[in-house]
Structure formats: structure tokens, C-alpha cells
Amino acid sequence: MRSGRRLAVLASRVRFEEKQIMAALERRGATFVHLDPRALVVADGVSRTDFVLNREVGHYRALYAASALESAGATVLNTAAATHVSGDKWLTTSALMAAGLPTPRTALAMTPEAAVDALDQIGYPAVVKPLVGSWGRLVTALPDRATATAVLEHVAALPSPQQHVVYVQELVEKADRDIRVLVVGGEALGATYRRGDEWRTNVARGAVSTRCDLTDVHTKLAVAAAEAVGAEIAGVDLLEDADGHLTVLEVNDRVEFRGFQDAHEIDVADAIASYVLGRAGA
């Protein structure tokens, strides 16, 4: 690192990905500290680090830690703004639509009752998703209006007012897979198919990653989607319908890449370490 520059990796849980990134930084001779956000206090307006790679697994800790560190003068990758947008499904959809990118038909209802009307407009089958969440948790398929009404009655009983704002989306009829493209610094590293035994093809839910030949269309959509949410490092999820048309489903700003790594010979951690050190002025 350039003299005086202080680098940190922000993470409360050091998983496979964080271990790989830290090892890649060490191989490149970088000096860095592991910063645990659970013990982080930014109170005096002065950051103890100059450049922070945000790998915090929890959305709200990642968001507020990034915001606090930025306010104290640190550069955070990805930025608090990127984490804010990509960590919220509606804000992500809004950013994708504003950029003119194809995305499944989506509506945001301010109440569970209004969500029933929104679903009538979108049509069935559909899906209801929490605004903030990952790994496919609490994402529910809605085959018909009766199921939707029952699910939304449970949503109305949830304690948080935020949970009563309902994100609904068409359920794209697709093959038993989706496509994950990894983007680092505006370049697509590669792509994988993710296949599972159920309609949610999250690796965390048991889906298996296999290599996908990266096409120009994949690259263009993924890079544009990452740029739309402001993420320099991202995992972009694409859906392919029965006719081969692609839509952008979501953008992950603190992307997990173990499945991708298993399917490729690409060293994702080293690519991230190289980009981080370049951005940090190494």
C-alpha cells in the first residue's frame, strides 16, 4: 500500500469468501486489518482506516457501517449508497428500470390489502418478497389469488411497518436455473448457471453452480445492472425465459462466490484483491 494508507476488510463473519480475499491480499503483500462491525464505533468524525472493503453479511450493519466510515473520511467499497440500493429489492428494481434494463414486472404496494389489487394487475403465478433479505428467505410463490390472500393476511400481522410495504413480482417461467454473473470494476469475470430442486435457485438453498459460457448479452446486462446500482463489485442475477429472453432479477453488492469458484478456474478473490488495491492506491 501507498505510505500512510490504511486498508481494512469489514466483516463480522469470516466465511470462505473473506478468507480467500484476505489470503489474496496477503499474497500481494498488502497490509490490512480485519474490522469487525460488531465492535465498530465511529464517534469522533475520524476514521482509523482510509479504504474499507465492505464484506459485512448483515445488510443494516453493512449499510450503517459504510455510511459512518464514509462520513469519517474513509473510502468504502462498495459505497453506502450502493449497499442502500442493492440491498433493497424495490430500490434495485427502480434503478434497473431507470437505466432502461429489462426486469420482471414488479409492483410496490403500500399495504397488504393493496398488494392483492397489484397482483390482479400483474397476474399469476407471482411472487412476494421481503424488501430486504437474501438467500431466498421468506420469498413465497403465489400460484393464485386465494393463496395470495392467505399469505398477505400473514404479512399484515407482522410487527414491523416496513414489512407491510409489499413487493410483488411476476414469476418468470424459466428453466430450472438462473444465471449469476460476477462483475468487478466494470468487467464481467464470468457466469454460472445455478440449478436447484425448487424454484428458488439460491446456492444457500442447495442449488448447484455449473459453468455458463459468458456471452456479450450477459456481459452487457450485468455490467449495466451493476452500474445502475453503483456497485463496483457485484453478483448480478439474470433470468432466461422459455423464449431465451433475459431479464435482470437483482444485484448483490457483497456477493458470495464459492459456487462460482467451484465452477470456474477464475480466481475471484485475487481479482477482487487486485481491484481493491488499485482503487486504494497501492
pLDDT digits (tens, 9 = 90+) for 38-81: 999 887 776 788 999 999 999 999 999 999 999 999 999 999 99
Closest by Cα among 237, 234, 227, 232 to 203: 237
Supply the pLDDT for residue 3: 43
Give the range among 190-194, 240-244, 259-263 with minimum mean pLDDT. Answer: 240-244
> Residue 204 pLDDT > 60, yes or no?
no
Is the pLDDT reported for residue 221 higher than 90?
Answer: yes
Span 122-142, pLDDT tens digits = 999 999 999 987 655 778 999
Q: Extract the C-alpha cell encoding 201.
A: 435457485
With a CB cutoff of 8 Å and minimum separation 6, the contacts of 119 are 107, 126, 142, 145, 148, 168
Mean pLDDT of the region 228-247: 93
Strand pairing partners for 109?
166
Residue 2 has pLDDT above 60, yes or no: no
Task: Using DSSP, state whether 195 is helix, strand or coil.
Answer: strand
Q: 3-state DSSP call for residue 106?
A: strand
What whole-number distance in Å separates Cα of residue 235 and Cα of residue 226? 8
Model pTM?
0.90
For residue 281, what pLDDT band results from cuts at 50, 70 and 90?
confident
